[in-house]
Structure 1
Amino acid sequence: MNSVASSHEARQQSVRSPSGAAHARRGFRGEILHHDFALRRNGYHLRIVPPHGPLRADVDRLIHRMYSWRGLTPYQGHDSPGQPIQTTLVACRGDRPFGTLTVGMDLGKGLLADTLYRTEIDSARSRGGQVCEVTRLAMDPEHSTPETLAAIFHLGFIIARLMHGMTDSYIEVHPRHTSYYRRTLGYRVAGPHLTCPRVGAPAVLMHLPLSHAETQALRYGGSTRTNSRNLYQLFLSPTEQRAVLNSLQGRHES
């Protein structure tokens, strides 16, 4: 469960190795996500966290600290047999992580959210949907900004939707946070209030059609508007989105 700026060009400093064809990659091909990828922004950068090593340990400590601060059980599940394919993203200032998010994609063995909400998620599967989830979201309020949150969600969207062809995203949140996700990203409540066993707290399932996110990102990404109710205006511009997608794909093809 889971508990801007000047001109957009100034916010992005560089995208490493922007090469390769700008087309969506279908299927579950984790090898195309190279762990040395970095998206540099205004004073911080986003990276993909490798399964093991110092950065993974630092991210785990961040999650433990942020979850414990909110009175939650710090769930530390990573990739393992029987779990979704998981890609963990991190926002860092220098070498210090201050924000993280994990995108889990169903490889036929389900999502973590199926523990409580299998019936609700199966409704998307029965329509031919490809389902994914957002988990292990943690942002240090001392260092994070709405722009950072938007950037890390946008990178997760690029990986889930544009690289793996996911159609439906789910997130388990505390009931008091539902209005925030509805207002800023367009999630809708999709399941009843229950207790999430992974973090030992009340939870509610929320659902986002990724076609909606795709439309909003293209419409508002890179906007100079200052409507704090819409995180999509803080997403990358369509041109920058293509550059990030090409960068991720180009490292596999080079």
Structure 2
Amino acid sequence: MDASSQRRAVDLATRSHHALALFPGTTLNPAPAWKSQHPADSFRLNPDFRLIRDGYELRIANGTEALKRNTARLIERMYSSRGLFPYGQGESLDERDITVAACKGDHAVATLTLCLDAGRGLLADTLYRAEIDAARENGGQVCEITRLAMDPEHSSHEALAGMMQILYIIARLTYRVTDVFIEVHPRHAGFYRRLLGYQMVGPEKICPRVGAPAVLMHLCQQRLDHLIDTHAGRSDDDSRSFYRMFQRRAELEALQRALVASSPIQNQRRTSI
């Protein structure tokens, strides 16, 4: 796949009615499934964290009401422009789920949300409870990435990779997620399989949240670890893997220290990397 073809594939994927997903977890002591306490209660995110990629400022929307409203408007505008229902109609995200935004000035131009497994489960449980429960019953800690929206005028591979890195840090390095699920439009499944290493595990169904077809895809920790180790940070990597735009593990761990604390963060300086 040449550069122009890959850009078209990424653009199609970012226009899917469900989010880009990755971030399996670690092999180190995964937390038990279906914890009664939401895992986000154990950590606090630095509200002043910033990651600069390709001229975009990547930020955490949690705790910033203006940015949360901005991302909500972006999602509604992008989904409505494709004739889809307002995303999540009648199903709001848990306030402790984590939303990342890519910003130009004060405007969000792209966003992704990480849904961690709480007592009520994942949004994808609506259609694919049996498939997700199979991972839980194996001792897995599951999550899903959802609510992808990107303004087509700001279709930056680097910004998208930066948002994906932040969610990877939160899900895998911080909460030790072992299994990540996504619902995507069937015609976009090939992108996730070829460039991100996902496997299809759930049949096509109609997603009631957006009124469009969906399939369930899954990525396990072992596969993601291999892809990161093989491709991340390699300027000479001419593969199609999206992970070549990731930073190496040591750099990701440094970002985690800037992003996450085990207690509420006070008087934290602005972090710009």
- Secondary structure at the aligned position of 1:217 is classed as helix
Cα separation, 1, equivalents of 2:100 and 2:198: 20
**1:18 paired residue number:** none
**Bigger RCO of structures 1 and 2 (CA < 8 A, at least 6 apart):** 2
Report deviation, 1:171: 0.3
> How many correspondences in the alignment?
231
1:219 to 224, 230, 254: 230
Question: Aligned-pair distance for 1:239?
Answer: 2.8
Percent identity for Structure 1 against Structure 2: 48
Indicate conservation of the 8 Å contact 2:143/2:177, yes or no.
yes
Is 1:98 the counterpart of 2:113? The answer is no
Deviation at 1:253, TM superposition (A): 7.3
Aligned counterpart for 1:159 among listed residues 170, 189, 214: 170
Q: Which residue of 1 aligns with 2:45?
A: 33
1:78 to 78, 87, 93: 93
Alpha-carbon distance in 2 for matches of 1:215, 1:155: 18
Residue 62 of structure 1: how far off its partner (Å)? 0.6
Deviations 1:109-134 (A, max 9, x none): 21110000000111111111110001
Q: Distance in 2 between matches of 1:200 and 1:253?
A: 40
Residue 47 of structure 1: CA displacement?
0.8
Of residues 70, 73, 85 in structure 2, which corresponds to 1:58? Answer: 70
Q: Which 5+ residue runs of structure 1 have no aligned equivalent?
A: 4-22
Which amino acid counterpart does residue 99 of structure 1 have in structure 2?
A: A
For residues 43-192 of structure 1, the aligned pairs below 5 Å read 43-51=55-63, 53-76=65-88, 77-79=92-94, 85-192=96-203
For residues 76 and 69 of structure 2, the distance between their equivalents in structure 1, rounded to whole angstroms, comes to: 10
Q: Deviations over 1:62-106 (max 9, x none)?
A: 1011111222112252325xxxx4111111122221110001011
- RMSD value, Cα: 2.3
Greater shift in the superposed pair: 137-146 or 243-252: 243-252
Please, what TM-score do these two structures have when normalized by structure 2? 0.78
TM-score (norm 1): 0.83
Q: Which runs of 5+ in 2 are unaligned?
A: 1-16, 20-27, 32-37, 266-273
Taking structure 1 as reference, are residues 209 and 25 closer, same or farther at Cα in structure 2, changes over 3 Å only? closer
Rounded Cα–Cα distance in structure 2 between residues aligned with 1:144 and 1:36 = 25
CA gap of 1:126–1:100, structure 2 versus 1, over 3 A, is same
Does structure 2 retain, via aligned residues, the 8 Å contact 1:51–1:78?
no
Q: CA deviation at 1:52?
A: 5.6
Q: 1:2 corresponds to which residue?
A: 18
Take 1:230 and 1:245, find their aligned partners in 2: how far apart are those partners?
A: 23
